[in-house]
Copies of this chain bind each other. A is one copy, B any other.
């Protein structure tokens, strides 16, 4: 089965487990809206690619780990779109959950998704119960305090922020959970896989910052220029567009080099390259570089 079909099927099964006649229908609708249709599903793809490279001896648990990470990512997007944060009306090219269902149900859908992530791990660890505790800690680290997504979002409420700490928590931590968790689900040592998640997570955040100031809103599926409007830390603001583009290339190269020697190394490097092209297409990078050069000439 193709990796993306495997992810969508596992997500559908996990969400269906929380639904029955006793579930409030609007909440069930808001949860589905938050998860389907998805974005690029890059975190679960990464998780399954690493699990595969490590032997994937318990596919049920690998799938559950990928699902848990994607559900936590969806939860963070739903809460991030709330009026008290971005107040976003759109997400993935259509109405955000808070816009379609209201902020109360958006808060609850996010909460339910966090719980469902851990429930999915517990349900699917039946064949390898001794892996559950470590896996939960890896996943929990990616999302909770002191250095997970929640902490990353909370840095936006602080007057002084270190850009690296902020990006590592807001984006990097869940990428680390994806790579390290993928290894752990397959019974492997997660430590050698952390670096890949760290580099990719930072690359992803820098790409997001670049796209926020540079991209066409129709392509992005959400409003652009929000970082400037909301005063959020941004690599594209801190390093300039040219500096951010160079940094992105460096991070992608480091992610590729960090892949440990293993059966699936070539496949993983191909995934990194494809992701780089998806995030900042070469044509876009060239156009932005020309823009930076033209602006620099105009300024002198």
A residues at B contact (CB < 8 Å): 18-20, 22-28, 31, 75, 79, 82-85, 102-105, 107-108, 110-112, 114-116, 118-119, 121-123, 125-126, 129-130, 132-134, 136-137, 140, 143-148, 150-151, 153-158, 165, 169
Contact = CB atoms under 8 A, between A and B. Distances in A.
Nearest to A79: B107
Contacts of A146: 18-20, 22-23, 28
B129 A143 contact: no
29 contacts: A18-B145, A19-B146, A23-B151, A24-B155, A24-B157, A24-B158, A26-B158, A27-B154, A79-B107, A84-B103, A85-B104, A104-B153, A105-B157, A108-B153, A108-B154, A111-B143, A112-B144, A115-B143, A115-B144, A115-B145, A115-B148, A118-B136, A119-B144, A122-B136, A122-B137, A123-B137, A129-B129, A129-B130, A130-B130
Contacts of A82: 107
Nearest to A143: B115
A103 B144 CA distance: 18
Contact of A140 (B84, B102, B122, B144): B122
B137 A133 contact: no
Contacts of A22: 146-147, 151, 165, 169
Nearest to A21: B146
A155 B155 CA distance: 33
A103 B84 CA distance: 6
A126 B283 CA distance: 52
Contacts of A24: 151, 154-155, 157-158
A140 to B, nearest CB: 4
A22 B158 CA distance: 13
A145 B31 contact: yes
A264 B263 CA distance: 57
Given A133-B129, A136-B122, A147 B102 contact: no
A119 B115 CA distance: 12
